Amino acid sequence: ERVFSHAKETDTLRRSNLAEVTMEVLQITKYLSKHATLDFSDGWVTSESDLEVVALDPSKINELIATRMVDKLAEIILKAHELG
């Protein structure tokens, strides 16, 4: 019923020759477009398991970064992720 409560906005004198079915389709389309919800996660490629937090020692991470051992850090993260 609420869908058709705004029919007056669509059914003006200029559009009074619209068929009943056309009016119904227009009103339902207007209602759905105004009440549509956005899903910003639709189509994400990353799975939830990829976003899991892995427990690592922060001092070890800092040490590996400071000594530019990023490959070793990546290896530790991957291994921890596989075990987690």
How does pLDDT run across 19-69, given as a tens digit for each residue? 778 878 888 888 877 777 767 777 777 777 777 777 788 888 889 989 988
CB 41 within 8 Å of CB 13: no
Q: Percent helix, strand, coil in the chain (nearest 5)? A: 65, 0, 35
- Do 78 and 52 belong together in one domain? yes
Do 8 and 28 belong to one domain?
A: yes
Nearest C-alpha neighbor of 4 from the set 22, 18, 24, 20: 24
Residue 22 domain boundaries: 3-37
Number of domains the chain is built from: 2
* pLDDT class of 17 with cuts at 50, 70, 90: confident
- Asked if the model's pLDDT at residue 1 lies above 70, the reply is no
